[in-house]
Structure 1
């Protein structure tokens, strides 16, 4: 009588070990997919934050940087009748008018909840964003702090994530307005 072949296959322990390893691998892969899916909308928010921050930084950098208030008749000569330009807007000045910001320093401490254009109109679709601007004197390479301003724009998206963008504004001549 021929000897029956021994049955070949997996033991119960091998099968349980295989199921455990495959389960752990699948759980790790699913975590990657879930993270990628949840972050799918983030690039849109991030790009919008960057666009807002760049726009505000450009707006501030294009303002005059004078030793005294640009409304002072002697601002061009440097022998100002007014006090040196201090951080923050002068009385009555606003980004939205009727007396508009007229110097880089006027933007120090500015913030807005819901993005508005320079005319004060709310920009559609950007109500969930906030923005703030800090302007501080800071030395830049060989320039003393009195001749350079560091501008920091922080934009927070609807998801609470902040984006910080920094730039500089220098005074090209002691009393230059641009």
Structure 2
């Protein structure tokens, strides 16, 4: 049995639906474009953090020695924390070999003697990692403590 009521869409309703969906889709695609454009920024920040943490951990693992450090550019020769003072170079292996994929990054270290909560023999170690205009600094402390 046929019903007198018609079912379906009119041409005007169909065109209106297409226009509304098109505008909505354009807005969603613009949001995706912004997200894709800025998606590498967190990667750069994580890389800066990893490089700075690695060098800070390396420097703080060295023994505390009284006197000036020898310094230099080859970290393999650094035997105490003060040797890292003034170090500035692109990330490299401990032996000095360059890491080509990290050539746009730079690491710098500043070590200074300071008093920390009444402890006179304390060294403040600041590692700064940078790439272009992005910069990240980490600070650590090394004290001259008597071992067990």
TM-score (norm 2): 0.71
Are 2:135 and 1:165 aligned? no
Are 2:79 and 1:106 aligned? no
Query: Equivalents in 1 of 2:122, 2:58: separation in Å?
Result: 17
2:52/2:127 contact within 8 Å kept: yes
- Higher strand share goes to which structure? 2
Judged with a 3 Å threshold, the aligned counterparts in structure 2 of structure 1 residues 97 and 168 are, in CA distance, closer, same or farther, namely: closer
Count of residue pairs the alignment pairs up: 121
Judged with a 3 Å threshold, the aligned counterparts in structure 2 of structure 1 residues 64 and 42 are, in CA distance, closer, same or farther, namely: same
Correspondence for 2:111 among 125, 132, 135: 135
SS of corresponding position for 1:94: coil
Give the C-alpha shift of residue 160 in structure 1: 2.1
Residue by residue, what CA displacement relative to the aligned partner does 1:111-161 show, whole Å, maximum 9, x if unpaired? 00x2111111112310100010000111111212xx11110000002x420
1:95/1:118 contact within 8 Å kept: no
Q: Which has the higher contact order (CA 8 A, sep 6+)?
A: 1
2:72/2:87 contact within 8 Å kept: no
Query: Equivalents in 2 of 1:95, 1:168: separation in Å?
Result: 22
Structure 2's unaligned 5+ residue stretches are: 1-26
Judged with a 3 Å threshold, the aligned counterparts in structure 2 of structure 1 residues 95 and 64 are, in CA distance, closer, same or farther, namely: farther
- Higher helix share goes to which structure? 2
Structure 1's unaligned 5+ residue stretches are: 1-25, 68-84
